Amino acid sequence: DTGVSQNPRHKITKRGQNVTFRCDPISEHNRLYWYRQTLGQGPEFLTYFQNEAQLEKSRLLSDRFSAERPKGSFSTLEIQRTEQGDSAMYLCASSLGTGFQREQYFGPGTRLTVT
Amino acid sequence: ELKVEQNPLFLSMQEGKNYTIYCNYSTTSDRLYWYRQDPGKSLESLFVLLSNGAVKQEGRLMASLDTKARLSTLHITAAVHDLSATYFCAVDKRGNSGNTPLVFGKGTRLSVIA
Q: Residue B94: its pLDDT value, please?
A: 78
User: What is the C-alpha separation between B72 and A54, in angstroms, rounded?
Assistant: 31
Q: Which of A42, A105, A108 sits opposite B45 (nearest CB)?
A: A105
Chain A (47-76) residues lying within 8 Å, Cβ to Cβ, of chain B: 48, 56, 58
CB A105 within 8 A of CB B35: no
**Could you read off the pLDDT of B22-81 as tens digits, one per residue?**
999 998 887 899 999 998 888 999 999 988 888 999 999 999 999 999 999 999 999 999
Closest CA in chain A for residue B10: A40
**Could you read off the pLDDT of B64-98 as tens digits, one per residue?**
999 999 999 999 999 999 999 999 999 988 766 66
Could A56 and B98 be called an inter-chain contact, meaning their C-beta atoms sit closer than 8 Å?
no
Q: Residue B89: its pLDDT value, please?
A: 97
User: What is the C-alpha separation between A33 and A25, in angstroms, rounded?
Assistant: 9
Chain B (27-86) residues lying within 8 Å, Cβ to Cβ, of chain A: 33, 35, 41-45, 48, 50
Query: pLDDT tens digits for chain A (115 residues)?
Result: 579 999 999 999 999 999 999 999 999 899 999 999 999 899 999 999 999 999 999 998 899 999 999 988 999 999 999 999 999 999 999 998 766 667 899 999 999 999 9
Residues with Cβ within 8 Å of residue B34, at least 6 apart in sequence: B23, B45, B46, B47, B49, B63, B72, B74, B87, B88, B89, B90
List, in sequence order, every residue forming a beta bridge with B111; answer none if it has no partner: B12
